[in-house]
């Protein structure tokens, strides 16, 4: 939907979002930082376009059905081999 993400800098979110690349992370429990990041993203058209573009690219590459199916297969295969 081409909506950039502003999310709390906590795990596992911070493992998915690359700050100022595929989204913007704010300090947890800090509403001033959240507000600052949302306003920055709203006012900075270039940054907003970059974040949207990189997030969409990462989503298509990493979170597509083929990649997820392969990861699930590998997890199940590893679990089976360990028995």
Give residue-wise pLDDT tens across range 44-69. Answer: 999 999 999 999 999 888 887 887 88
Dihedral angle sign, alpha carbons of residues 61, 62, 64, 67: positive
Task: Report the pLDDT value the prediction gives residue 33, as an integer from 0 to 100.
Answer: 97
CA distance 54 to 57: 5
What is the rounded average pLDDT of the residues 21-37? 97
The whole-number pLDDT of residue 82 equals: 72
Q: How many angstroms separate the most distant Cα atoms in the chain?
A: 55
Number of neighbouring beta carbons within 10 Å of residue 52:
18
Q: How confident is the model at residue 28 (pLDDT cuts 50, 70, 90)?
A: very high
Nearest to 55 by CA among 19, 23, 27: 23
């Amino acid at each position: 939907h081409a909506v950039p993400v502003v999310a709390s800098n906590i795990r596992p979110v911070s493992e998915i979002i690359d700050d100022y690349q595929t989204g913007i992370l704010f300090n947890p429990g800090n509403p001033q930082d959240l507000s600052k990041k949302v306003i920055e993203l709203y006012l900075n058209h270039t940054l907003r376009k970059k974040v949207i573009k990189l997030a969409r690219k990462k989503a298509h590459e990493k979170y597509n059905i083929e990649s997820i199916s392969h990861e699930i297969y590998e997890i199940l295969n590893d679990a089976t081999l360990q028995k």
